[in-house]
Structure 1
Amino acid sequence: MISFLRNERRYMLLAVGFFTRIPVPMFGDFHPDDLNRSAKYFPLVGIFVGLIGAGAFAFASKVLPQSIAVLISMAMTVYITGAFHEDGLADSADGLGGGWDTERILAIMQDSRLGTYGAIALFFALFTKYQLLTALPAYFVPFVLVIGHAFSRLCALLIMADLEYVRESSKAKPLATKIKMPGLLVAVLFGVAPIPLLYWNFSPALLSAKDWLWLSACCLTPVALVWVWWRNKIKHWLGGYTGDCLGAMQQMTELAFYLGLLVWAQQL
């Protein structure tokens, strides 16, 4: 049991070290397969990133307008992740926007230069996130950030469980083996664990059962639509996924979650 817990701690720290700039201990006996076993902690990393963004927003909003607090929060999450997922979104947009077959799309996605499609995708993603978070009630934003970062990373992980990796080699290759059911269950647990924070903001006496169902539908429907659309698009053009595709999925489902929540909040 002690050995199991020690190994799981190791896998969790590897996930944190791979997906963020948070310092973690160095492992002298690292093996690429360890990184694959750490994939189940992807949503947990999202919780950590969301908490950092939520903390930055909470502190900044004490002395600054909500719009500036949102910018500071976004800057913190981009910094702490090294723009890892934003880079995936940009590369995916460049590849699928400028490529005409699988080979060409993959070649463009591997190019480190930022193209027109990638720049446009990044601008709209960041601008949309800023607008959505600014439009939400301020007291809601810290909770929303934790949920959005965790749940969107679960959405990316579900692609790993569903599709095959299509590149022969890349920095994401050690992470690309299909996740097994026990690991997927752990990921689902961490991905949905923060969701009750959404309902915690309201007394059950204030909202009817119909209201709770409407809230759930508003939040989940846009995420599901984006997930299905992106999954089918990369399946059609690539036959599977790459690490960039996972980053794009995380970014788009996070935005979809905020959008759905804003639709619901407008009815309050």
Structure 2
Amino acid sequence: MTQTDSDDATQATPPNWPGWAIATATCIRFYSRLPVPALPGETPHGLPDFRLVPRALPLAALAIALPATVTALLAGLAGIAPLLAAALTVTALVVTTGAFHEDGLADTADGLFGGHTPERRLEIMKDSRVGTFGALALGLSVLLRVTALAAILEASGPLAMAAAVLAAAPWSRVEGIRILATTPPTRRDGASAAVGQPARSVLPVAYGLSGAVALALGAAGLLPLPGLLLGLALSVLAGSLLASMARRLIGGQTGDILGAAQQLGEIAIYLGLAAALGWAAA
């Protein structure tokens, strides 16, 4: 048996479901800088096994979004100007994750748009320096998120802005998992290959939990249902276009592509909500 055959056999071996608590803690630790103590029966160090663990990603995403949600609520209730309140909210998101997804977005933009061959694009993506396309992508990401959240706050109040952060956090991260599950890794030795390909059962559970969170916020009257549906649809479309571009330009996905998918998904949901609130006010 070759090394490749051995790796494929290992990936095909069904893992043991670690349980919701351990899976949630694993995702929080992987996707954020939040301190999470080791739970009984857990080995917290090293790359996680993502074949089943991302089922719990929506729960982890809610915990990761909690500091930004509280920031949005307090800033809005304090009467801070919408743009400043939204900027503080996005800052809380970035600090909590350590710019984990933003780094992937910048590397993706530099690589996909800065190289002329798959090899050169991957080489650029591995470079820690930020180029013109990466800087523009980061700037646009912050600008779009801040202005969209400010529009939500101005149109519907602090609870709506906080709810938008909660609705976007799980779904946008599952968009990255969808690409991980459906697109082959470009690098056999990359992080996205090392964590493993999610099992077929992961996406329905993860999307179901994420959708339930969004719909619950809509049912509670905190967010407009048309805006939620539009934002979720735009998020899926953005992730699909990114995955198609990655397959065409670099032959598959990398960890940076997954981070970029989260950023695009979050932006899409905020824009859908802001657009719907704007139409309702017109």
Q: Which category describes the TM-score, using the shorter chain as reference length?
A: 0.7 to 0.9
1:138-192: CA deviations, max 9, x gaps? 23111111011111111111111211111132344432x2211222233123321
Alignment of 1:2-13 (within 5 A): 7-13=19-25
Letter in 1 for 2:98: G
Q: In 2 relative to 1, CA 265–105 (structure 1 residues): closer, same or farther, beyond 3 Å?
A: same
Q: Which residue of 2 aligns with 1:198?
A: 218
1:187-228: CA deviations, max 9, x gaps? 12332121120232179xxxxxxx95x445533332233122
> Is residue 52 of structure 1 aligned with residue 67 of structure 2?
yes
Q: Which residue of 2 aligns with 1:165?
A: 185
SS of structure 1 residue aligned to 2:213? coil
> Is residue 225 of structure 1 aligned with residue 249 of structure 2?
no
Contact persistence 1:94–1:108 (CA under 8 A): yes
> Is residue 109 of structure 1 aligned with residue 125 of structure 2?
yes
Alignment of 1:224-243 (within 5 A): 224-243=236-255
Matched pairs, number: 256
CA distance in 2, matches of 1:5, 1:97: 39
Q: Identity over the aligned pairs, expressed in percent?
A: 29
Contact persistence 2:102–2:263 (CA under 8 A): yes
Give the counterpart of 1:146 among 156, 166, 169: 166
Q: Which residue of 2 aligns with 1:22?
A: 34
1:93-135: CA deviations, max 9, x gaps? 0001111111111111011111111001000110111111101
CA distance in 2, matches of 1:188, 1:59: 29
TM-score by length of 2: 0.82
Letter in 2 for 1:193: A
Q: In 2 relative to 1, CA 191–24 (structure 1 residues): closer, same or farther, beyond 3 Å?
A: same
Letter in 2 for 1:239: G
Give the counterpart of 1:93 among 109, 114, 117: 109
Alpha-carbon offset, residue 30 of structure 1:
5.0
CA distance in 1, matches of 2:20, 2:128: 34
CA distance in 2, matches of 1:141, 1:19: 22
Q: In 2 relative to 1, CA 71–33 (structure 1 residues): closer, same or farther, beyond 3 Å?
A: closer
Task: Say which is worse superposed, 186-195 or 244-253, in terms of deviation.
Answer: 186-195
Contact persistence 2:186–2:251 (CA under 8 A): yes
Q: Which residue of 2 aligns with 1:74?
A: 90
Letter in 2 for 1:107: E
Alpha-carbon offset, residue 260 of structure 1:
1.4
Give the counterpart of 1:84 among 80, 84, 100: 100
Q: Which residue of 2 aligns with 1:206?
A: none
RMSD: 2.3
Contact persistence 1:57–1:70 (CA under 8 A): yes
Unaligned residue ranges in structure 2 (runs of 5+) = 1-15
CA distance in 1, matches of 2:208, 2:236: 18
1:218-251: CA deviations, max 9, x gaps? 3333223312211211111122110100000110
Runs of 4+ in 1 over 3 A off after TM superposition: 4-8, 26-37, 170-173, 214-217
Letter in 1 for 2:274: L
Q: In 2 relative to 1, CA 10–221 (structure 1 residues): closer, same or farther, beyond 3 Å?
A: closer
Task: Say which is worse superposed, 194-203 or 240-249, in terms of deviation.
Answer: 194-203
Q: Which residue of 1 aligns with 2:135?
A: 119
Task: Say which is worse superposed, 214-223 or 39-48, in terms of deviation.
Answer: 214-223
Q: Which residue of 2 aligns with 1:264?
A: 276
Q: In 2 relative to 1, CA 108–194 (structure 1 residues): closer, same or farther, beyond 3 Å?
A: same
TM-score by length of 1: 0.86
SS of structure 2 residue aligned to 1:61? helix
Contact persistence 1:14–1:35 (CA under 8 A): no
Unaligned residue ranges in structure 1 (runs of 5+) = 204-210
CA distance in 1, matches of 2:18, 2:52: 13
CA distance in 1, matches of 2:20, 2:95: 26
Contact persistence 2:23–2:53 (CA under 8 A): yes
